[in-house]
Amino acid sequence: MEFHTELLPEGIVAIAGEGRLNMVSAPELRAVVEKEIGAGHTRVVVDLSEIEFIDSSGLGALVGCLKGARQAGGDLRIAGPNKQVTMVLQLSNLDRVLKSYGTAGDAYRE
């Protein structure tokens, strides 16, 4: 999967992928997020609006990226999850730690 990175105002970075976030693509997401955190972009939003399916590998990648962002003093939030992604986040209790927003632009608007 190819992930697209976009810098938003206030140093926020939005990372968007398209398709399935599974054992094939999860390592790629980790690599992209690590690179952005390494570049100092520690306020991350992963735009899931074009992700049609996530599995436990994808969940693991999101948790790993969340830890990395927080260790660097930032955060990781998610945007636009579909019904399947929302179901899996709820079953795994990760909806408690991965804050979800309607769009990437909303993720840090508080």
Partner 1 sequence: MSEPAQTLVLRSPRDNVDLVHGFLERLWVAHADIGELDRMAFETALIELVSNVIEHADTGHGVTCVIGVTVSATTLVANLSDTADAGEIQVVGRLMPSVAAESGRGIALVQMLVDDLQYERVGEKNLWSMSRNRVE
Residues 92, 99, 100, 105: which binds partner 1 (CB under 8 A)?
A: 92
Q: Would you count residue 100 as binding partner 1 (CB under 8 A)?
A: no
Residue 110 half-sphere exposure toward CB, CA atoms < 13 A: 6
Closer by beta carbon to partner 1, 4 or else 67: 67
Residues in 12-51 that interact with partner 1 by CB under 8 A: 20, 22-24
Q: How far is the CB of 59 from partner 1 (least distance, A)?
A: 6
